[in-house]
Structure 1
Amino acid sequence: MLFFFVVISCDKGDETITTPENTKSEFISAVDISRYPEISRSNPIFYDQEGNRSDFLNILKENGINTVRLRIWVNPSTEHSGFDEVKQFSQTLKSHGFKIWLTLHYSDTWADPGQQNVPSEWEGISFASLKDSVYNYTEKVVHEISPSYVQIGNEINTGFLHPYGHITNNYQQFKELLHSGVAATRANSDTAKIIIHFAGIENSDWFFNQMTTIDYDIIGLSYYPIWHGKSLESLKTKMRSLSEAHDKEILIAETAYPFTLDWNDWTNNIVGLDDQLILPDYPASVEGQRHFIKKIKTLAKEVKNGIGFCYWGAELIAWKGSQATDASPWENQALFDFQNKALPVLGEFEIE
């Protein structure tokens, strides 16, 4: 029998939600391939690690990946990452046996700690209407796509739906908006796990202390050495302390690492310098990338409540050709080399 304890906070009258200790979830070995529907239109040819021509999704599945993370935008300028594309792609992924992890950005474009823009069709409405919009949109997504994991917002260090839901300037409104997304998820799925996602580890204690009244299941952290520090031991320590303090499962929601500092198109790459790496342990090499992800997987498994990791940008090859200036800033961090051959790092996604 499950027991739920509700403690009433004296200062704000909020409900502090704690959940009982449950059986640890299946380990999540995930990739984010949100841009693959767009990339696939260029008909790239992919090869497995033996050099055999193979289907992109089959390569992922055969290497032990069990979950695919997809971003979804409310009304993007193109169809990419919009509701229809994400729904259709999710159906394809499910037919291949993948679980679906949706990242609801609650924006028409990228949302991250520095940018949390309100969707254009929600601009200028009342706050009550905005809460309704969050609920109704989340309800539609969860009901029609039926994901296994629902991430309410993306890297919401500063809140989301700014300025209404800014975590420091409008904390109460931030909480109410978050509650709307959570309530819609719970009302439309008995099985979906809810993820709250924070970028990095600095200030994560403060952030998740603000989440005590939110009904969620999993703490998600982004970890990129270029932005979030170069100590994997600090990451492990923080994961352990956060999960124990809040009695939550925890995972690395985004990470990646380069297999080279070279490039395969003329789009500026995000990682291209030695001082952005963890040296000497993890050089920008095929083996350096593999060892980094092996360590990430091991770290997530060693944390008591650790339940997995997700590799961001697995699909981001230079799909527009070597001259493109508007294509991939990530081809040196993809899971395929410059000839679209699966890299050895894919072997680390298999869960023993």
Structure 2
Amino acid sequence: MTFKYGTAVLFMVLILFSCNSSDDSNETPVNPPETTDFISAVDISSWPEIASTNPVFQDADGNEQGFLEQLKSYGVNTVRLRLWVNPLNEHSGYNEVKAFASQLKAQGFKIWLSVHYSDTWADPANQEIPEAWKNLNFDGLNAEVGEYTQMVAKEIQPEYIQIGNEINPGFLLPEGDINTNYMQFKTLMETAISEVRVASPASKIMIHFAGTEHADWFFGQVDALDYDIIGLSFYPIWHGKSLTALQNTMANLSSKYDKDIVIAETAYPFTLDWNDWTNNIVGQEDQLITGYPASPQGQFDFLKSIKTITQDLERGIGFCYWGAELIAWKGTEATNGSPWENQALFDFNNTALPVLEVFKAE
């Protein structure tokens, strides 16, 4: 994802991959257009922070029901979590993510780990080396990447793991710049990937790119790497408004590079209104796709189209909705609250929106 809370700017992006074995039932459904391996995911990385404020959620009928329980009941089977190295507070750090992942596994969710290799947001405009690693020479940095990756993969054992987040320019810049330090970028990626293969051999490895422009060039640069899934972010505000172009790009990438493919990040507004005093990322009609208004039905139709595009691809294996949890949890007058509450999966009363129906297996 590409922004920081409290600002209304930044770039971003979402989703997933296939699994050789499933934690779900081995029984074949009566009408099974999709298997239990199809990823129906949400990124709810901020939930531990939001949960501490004790928000109350309702189902579509107005009955009080827990947030995670509702996600499960609607068919969400995978949760994506960002991981920062040494964040300013505990949120999205190793201890919080490990504990939250354990809780989610106990509730039957699969874990999709987005390793940022940064102390904060990593995206096409921000790929900053963690503060504790900044004075290392390249060999030291490479060793640190290996040790860190081994630790998180071994301890969390995610079903899916991204090596970097939206690494369009590379990661750990400038050392891992894909344009100016390609061999170092490749070495850092190989080190991280090899550690995952040893520490968590069942994990599927994803490489995540934001958008579709230049995606073919990028995945050509990483073609020699040992990974399993292509992940793309797709937000209309940043990545264009043509779902046909998205589908064609996904089909071409998957076929050309012989990989499974997912939408790793996406989202859409159910309104252009706001529920706090923090500027929202999406708030204008010209940021929308024609035919998909900012309404509960428009949000449903958009995500349904994303799911259908992925399902229709020969090697499309899933999708992930970013910011499902980002209600206005700091209060209706917060200026440092949620820039995303109009794109969450719950309305301004914390009631489930129709879009949650899209996650159900059909």
Shorter-chain TM band: over 0.9
Structure 1 letter corresponding to 2:361: I
Paired position in structure 1 for 2:344? 334
User: Which secondary structure state, in structure 1, belongs to the residue aligned with residue 342 of structure 2?
Assistant: coil
Instruction: Provide Cα deviations, 1:273-308, integer angstroms capped at 9, x if missing partner.
Output: 0000001x1000000000001111011000111000
Instruction: Report the secondary structure of 1:335's partner residue.
Output: coil
Counterparts of 1:171-250 in structure 2 under 5 Å?
171-250=182-261
CA distance in 2, matches of 1:276, 1:316: 19
Cα deviations by residue, 1:209-228 (Å, 9 ceiling, x for unpaired): 00111000000000000000
Name the structure 1 match of 2:31. none
* Match in the other structure for 2:295: 285
Question: Structure 1, residues 198-244: CA drift from partner, whole Å, max 9, x if none?
Answer: 00000000000001110000000000000000000100000000000
1:1-352 alignment to 2 at 5 Å? 26-279=37-290, 281-352=291-362
2:25 aligned partner = none
Distance 1:197 1:25, change over 3 A: farther
Q: Tell me the SS of whatever aligns to 2:48.
A: helix
- d(CA) in 2 for partners of 1:130 and 1:240? 36
TM-score (norm 2): 0.90
Q: Distance in 2 between matches of 1:309 and 1:103?
A: 14
Name the residue aligned to 1:6.
none
Q: Distance in 2 between matches of 1:50 and 1:118?
A: 47
Instruction: Output the TM-score relative to the length of structure 1.
Output: 0.93
- The 2-side partners of 1:148 and 1:95 are apart by 14
Question: What's the RMSD between the two structures over aligned residues?
Answer: 1.1
Q: CA deviation at 1:26?
A: 1.2
Runs of 4+ in 1 over 4 A off after TM superposition: 22-25
Q: Percent identity?
A: 61
C-alpha contact 1:108 1:119 (8 A) present in aligned 2: yes
- The amino acid of 1:297's aligned partner reads K
Q: Which amino acid aligns with 2:161?
A: V
In the alignment, structure 1 segments of 5+ residues that lack a partner are 1-21
- Quick one: which amino acid aligns to residue 132 of structure 1? A
Partners in 2 of 1:302 and 1:78 — Cα distance? 42
What is the CA-CA distance between 1:50 and the residue it aligns to?
Answer: 1.3
Contact 1:139/1:188 (8 A) holds in 2:
yes
Partner of 1:18: none
CA distance in 1, matches of 2:358, 2:311: 13
Aligned length, in residue pairs: 330
Aligned partner of 1:235: which letter? L
Note the residue ranges of structure 2 that are not aligned, 5 or more in a row: 1-19, 22-34
The answer as to whether partners of 1:101 and 1:149 remain within 8 angstroms in 2 is: yes
Query: Are the aligned partners of 1:25 and 1:307 in contact in 2 as well (CA < 8 Å)?
Result: no
| Residue type of the alignment partner of 1:351 | A
* 8 Å CA contact retained: 1:27, 1:307: yes
Q: Once the 2 structures are TM-superposed, how far is the Cα of residue 158 of structure 1 from its aligned partner?
A: 0.1
Larger relative contact order, structure 1 or 2 (CA cutoff 8 Å, min sep 6): 2
Query: Letter of the aligned partner of 2:207 in structure 1?
Result: I
Structure with bigger strand share is: 1
The separation in 2 between residues aligned to 1:62 and 1:176, in whole angstroms, is 42
Change (3 A) 1:25 1:345: closer
The residue identity in structure 1 corresponding to 2:49 is E
Match of 1:9 in 2: none
CA drift of 1:25 comes to 8.3
Which whole-Å CA distance do the structure 2 matches of 1:327 and 1:73 have between them? Answer: 20
